[in-house]
Amino acid sequence: MTKNQRLVYIALLAAQAVIISLLERAIPFPFAVAPGAKLGLANIITCMALYTLSTKDACKVVAIRLVLAALLGGTISTFMYSASGAILSFIGMWSVKRLGPSRVSLIGVSTTGAILHNVGQLAVASWIAQTWTVLLYLPVLSFVGILSGIAIGIAANYLLTHVEKLHYYKFLHELD
């Protein structure tokens, strides 16, 4: 894959993640137990970036998604919550992925990201509220995060198996 093809692939993943993020804000959340929680559908794209790009390029996809989603449909506070969750989630997903496919599947990586995203957001919320009692909401969000992480992991696993069938997939890691 040439440098230009890689840049186009990064841009396509980032654009898909932004669109998914904006669409997810428009749909009501299915779990009434956890107000304010979302499914995290854009995490599908983060998983795809982690498994098909270098770490540096996957970071670019996440950063572009954060900035554009905040500019197109958010505020400073939504950017702070999203950024803290996304950064902690990405670091956790990257770390767990490095354990290897024999120890952790894509579903486990996705679930790790979902839980850590909630931890990051609640850390910012507790910092803004100046109290750690906000973290009492973590068990509820963790349960929802586990469920959505499994669902997102299954979807990303399905997509990844089909991306691997593409003829140019084998060239994605050449420029690492």
Which CATH number belongs to the domain containing residue 93 in this structure?
Answer: 1.10.1760.20
Q: What pLDDT, on the 0 to 100 scale, is given for residue 60?
A: 96
Amino acid at 14: A
Q: Inform me whether the pLDDT recorded for 85 exceeds 70.
A: yes
Question: Is residue 42 assigned to a domain?
Answer: yes
The identity of residue 18, as a single letter, is V
Average of per-residue pLDDT across 48-56 = 92
Nearest to 151 by CA among 40, 65, 63, 16: 40
Number of domains comprising the chain: 1
pLDDT higher than 50, residue 165 = yes
Handedness of CA 127, 129, 130, 133 (dihedral sign): negative
Alpha-carbon gap, residue 115 to 48, rounded angstroms: 18
pLDDT in tens, 64-79: 999 998 899 878 888 9
Q: How far is CA 145 from the centre of its chain?
A: 12
Determine the average pLDDT of the residues in 99-121: 94
Q: Other CB atoms closer than 10 Å to residue 91's CB: what's the count?
A: 14
67 is in which domain, residue-wise?
Answer: 3-171
168 or 59, which is more confident: 59
Helices 3-26, 55-73: inter-axial angle, 10-degree rounding: 40
In a domain, 176, yes or no: no
Q: What is the pLDDT of residue 38?
A: 80
**Percentage with pLDDT > 70 across the chain:** 89
State both tokens at 78: 């939504």
pTM score, whole prediction: 0.86
* Whether pLDDT at 123 is above 60: yes
d(CA 36, CA 18): 19
Distance, in Å, from the CA atom of 147 to the CA atom of 71, rounded to the nearest integer, reads 29
Q: What is the structure's pLDDT at 170?
A: 55
